[in-house]
Amino acid sequence: MTAAPQNSFSELYSAYAAGCIDPAFAMMLEAQSLIRADVRGSVAVSEMIAGNFLEAAPAARMSAGALERTLALIDALEVPVEIQRAAGKSAGDAINELLSLPEPVRSAALDAAGRQGWQMLGLGLKRLKLDVGSSMDVELYRIAAGSRIPRHSHGGNEFTMVLAGGFTDERGTYGPGDVSMNGPNDTHQPVADEDEVCYALAVRDGGLRFTGVMGMVQKLLGVR
């Protein structure tokens, strides 16, 4: 499937504004809104509508200390850039690239790189598994200029957003802020643009199923 029109995600914007969205999609949407002004505008409209509904709703009694606990949680989320840099030292040569990614992907990537490091998937291709408290598989891919992800299908639905650079597959070309959607019946092979490293955030509810030699290796090793 090619990149979806903006209004295809209207329900996603509404769910985000209402605070009832999976953390993986919340992170993707927040990063996308920093890259694309049109998405930022749509999110703002959804938040305004949600705010109007909230103001019209009957007031709910807060439990004792609720405000203090909420403010403490907000403070805990605000990680200084200095701490982010320290956490990301083990990211090696890619540290500056990670620091250039939009939040909150940047913080999640620096944390993951410091804890577990990148997984090499092939020549010019690395994967970093992110922990954002989601039931979905959330992964950051670094595809070197001109490199490709092996041809694969999917065990479920996959949403892939370009954070930097770009890639092309059988269905189209994607740049920063674009989202590629693929389902269990889709097979493709993303290829990074020739002139720039591509960073892509993938959110899926099923693993990748490689074809050809990579598929045989995947079955032998029992990995995804």
For residue 36, being part of any structural domain is answered with: no
Interatomic CA distance for residues 80 and 90, integer angstroms? 18
By three-state DSSP, how is residue 40 classified? helix
Q: What is the pLDDT of residues 124-180, one digit of tens each?
A: 999 999 999 999 999 999 999 999 988 888 888 899 999 999 999 988 999 999 999
> What pLDDT is attached to residue 21?
86
For residue 113, being part of any structural domain is answered with: yes
23, exposed or middle or buried, with CB in 10 Å at 0-12, 13-18, 19+?
middle
Provide the residue range defining the domain that includes 159.
Answer: 81-221
Interatomic CA distance for residues 130 and 163, integer angstroms? 15
Residue whose C-alpha is closest to residue 153's, from 211, 192, 200, 202: 211
The rounded Cα 118 to chain-centroid distance in angstroms is: 16
> What pLDDT is attached to residue 83?
54
Q: What is the pLDDT of residues 94-130, one digit of tens each?
A: 688 899 999 999 999 999 998 888 999 888 999 999 9
Cβ 203 vs Cβ 154: under 8 Å: no
Cβ 142 vs Cβ 176: under 8 Å: no
Q: What is the pLDDT of residues 184-221, one digit of tens each?
A: 888 889 999 999 999 999 999 876 666 654 444 444 44
Share of the chain above pLDDT 70, in %: 64
> What pLDDT is attached to residue 84?
57
For residue 15, being part of any structural domain is answered with: no
For residue 37, being part of any structural domain is answered with: no
Q: What is the pLDDT of residues 18-52, one digit of tens each?
A: 777 899 999 999 999 999 998 888 777 666 654 54
3-state helix, strand, coil in the chain (%, to 5): 45, 20, 35
Q: Check residue 48 and report its DSSP letter.
A: H
For position 178, which CATH number holds?
2.60.120.10
Q: What is the pLDDT of residues 48-72, one digit of tens each?
A: 654 544 455 565 666 777 667 766 6
Q: List, in order, residues 6 or more apart from 218 with CB less than 8 Å away.
A: 209, 210, 224
> What pLDDT is attached to residue 58?
64
Interatomic CA distance for residues 78 and 4, integer angstroms? 32
Q: In the chain, how long is the greatest CA-to-CA distance?
A: 60
- Number of domains composing the chain: 1
> What pLDDT is attached to residue 73?
64
> What pLDDT is attached to residue 7?
47
For residue 33, being part of any structural domain is answered with: no
